[in-house]
């Protein structure tokens, strides 16, 4: 089977869940070959093997992570040239999409971004207009470079014993154009990452104020989940934008999504509709969110949510 390169998304060795999703997808299309850039591989090795990396190209030179994005594109371009993979998969994050664009230019290939699935023949599936329309697209020139949205594919463990191969690339002056002078790592709070959490509790306009978000946080903390918010809540300044779920926010796909005081606009659904179990608390029985839910509570969130938190706390 032909190799599919997967650019590993990691922060100092901490592998992001999206990488496991990409490995799963790559193994459906061919043989997953992870491309590791920067230090920290030893601690991450087992995880990549567990999720089916059949090969790991190792570029551990610290210099490659000293500059913004360009070295990763340069390395991948070299691997595309030398190894002729069938496709390259990256995460459709800000950085991943920039790598995809640069790599496409370097290799004269087409790139697809924000793909939610890839079918045989490297046909990418795009979910557009907030999920109302599915569009299919295929790269016609060069090696398909595909940026896949986090949380679009369920990661499946598929143990492999990866062969490791050290690789490197000579950086040009252009690759060294933007040096990273300081890295600010967001302090990890007690709560899990929104895009990686198994449980997400989101609050919307119905929550009424930033202060009231404590109700959402309390419920999330009881369940060991992350907190999300609708755009109405983030635009109002009640909760930081980084926690917005939806078309212009994060895409989440947890085991359990609880929407509290959220109407269920199409743009919100676009970011959470693939959640396994969806629960809504809304005082309006006609709210569109109820079309989507597995369980719904028609009621005042200021009564229902604290009661729920209390009840779960007792167990």
Residue ranges for the binding site for FAD?
205, 230-231, 244-248, 261-268, 282
Give the CA angle between residues 42, 102, 117 to the nearest 5°: 70
Q: Name the β-bridge partners of 250.
A: 245
Of the candidates 71, 155, 225, 271, which one interacts with ligand FAD according to CB under 6 A? Answer: 271
Residue 17 or residue 268: which is nearer to ligand FAD going by CB?
Answer: 268
Choices 153-161, 176-184, 191-199, 204-212; region in contact with ligand FAD by CB under 6 A: 204-212
Of the candidates 12, 82, 284, 311, which one interacts with ligand FAD according to CB under 6 A? Answer: 284
Q: Name the β-bridge partners of 118.
A: 124
Of the candidates 52, 124, 162, 261, which one interacts with ligand FAD according to CB under 6 A? Answer: 261
144 within 8 A of 109, measured Cβ to Cβ: yes
- Does position 278 bind ligand FAD by CB under 6 A? no
- Does position 165 bind ligand FAD by CB under 6 A? no
Of the candidates 12, 82, 294, 300, which one interacts with ligand FAD according to CB under 6 A? Answer: 300
57 within 8 A of 165, measured Cβ to Cβ: yes
Number of C-beta neighbours around residue 176 at 10 A: 14
Tell me how far CA of residue 190 lies from CA of 50, 167, 193, 256, in angstroms: 26, 37, 9, 19
Report the first-to-last Cα separation within the chain, whole angstroms.
50
Residue 12 or residue 284: which is nearer to ligand FAD going by CB?
Answer: 284
204 contacts: CB under 8 Å, gap ≥ 6:
229, 230, 232, 233, 259, 260, 261, 262, 263, 268
- Does position 230 bind ligand FAD by CB under 6 A? yes
Choices 36-44, 131-139, 150-158, 231-239; region in contact with ligand FAD by CB under 6 A: 231-239
- Does position 195 bind ligand FAD by CB under 6 A? no
Number of C-beta neighbours around residue 310 at 10 A: 12
Of the candidates 40, 205, 210, 292, which one interacts with ligand FAD according to CB under 6 A? Answer: 205
What distance in Å separates the CA atoms of residue 50 and residue 288, rounded to the nearest whole number?
40
- Does position 265 bind ligand FAD by CB under 6 A? yes
- Does position 231 bind ligand FAD by CB under 6 A? yes
Residues contributing to the site for ligand FAD (CB under 6 A): 204-206, 230-233, 244-249, 261-263, 265, 267-268, 271, 281-284, 287, 300-302
């Amino acid at each position: 089977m032909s190799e599919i390169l997967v650019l590993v998304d990691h922060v100092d060795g901490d592998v992001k869940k999206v990488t496991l999703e990409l490995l799963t997808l790559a193994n459906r299309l061919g043989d997953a070959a992870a491309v590791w850039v920067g230090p920290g591989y030893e601690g991450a090795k087992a995880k990549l093997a567990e999720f089916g990396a059949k090969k790991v190209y190792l570029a551990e030179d610290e210099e490659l992570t000293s500059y913004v994005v360009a070295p990763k594109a340069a390395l991948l371009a070299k691997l595309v040239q030398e190894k002729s993979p069938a496709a390259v998969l990256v995460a459709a994050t800000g950085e991943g999409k920039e790598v995809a664009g640069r790599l496409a230019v370097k290799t004269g290939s087409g790139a697809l971004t924000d793909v939610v699935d890839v079918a045989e023949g490297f046909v990418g599936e795009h979910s557009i207009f907030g999920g109302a329309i599915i569009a299919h697209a295929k790269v016609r020139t060069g090696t398909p470079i595909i940026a896949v949205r986090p949380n679009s594919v369920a990661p499946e463990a598929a143990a492999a014993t990866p062969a490791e191969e050290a690789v490197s690339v000579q950086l040009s002056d252009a690759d060294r154009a933007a040096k990273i002078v300081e890295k600010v790592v967001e302090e990890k709070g007690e709560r899990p990452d929104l895009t990686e959490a198994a449980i997400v509790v989101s609050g919307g306009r119905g929550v009424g104020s930033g202060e009231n978000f404590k109700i959402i946080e309390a419920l999330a903390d009881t369940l060991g989940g992350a907190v999300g918010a609708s755009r109405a809540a983030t635009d109002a300044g009640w909760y930081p934008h980084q926690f917005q779920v939806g078309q212009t926010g994060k895409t989440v796909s947890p085991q359990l999504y609880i929407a509290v005081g959220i109407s269920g606009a199409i743009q919100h659904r676009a970011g959470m509709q693939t959640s396994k179990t969806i629960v809504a608390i809304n005082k309006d029985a006609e709210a569109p969110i109820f079309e989507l839910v597995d369980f719904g509570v028609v009621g005042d969130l200021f009564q229902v949510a604290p009661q729920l938190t209390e009840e779960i706390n007792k167990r």
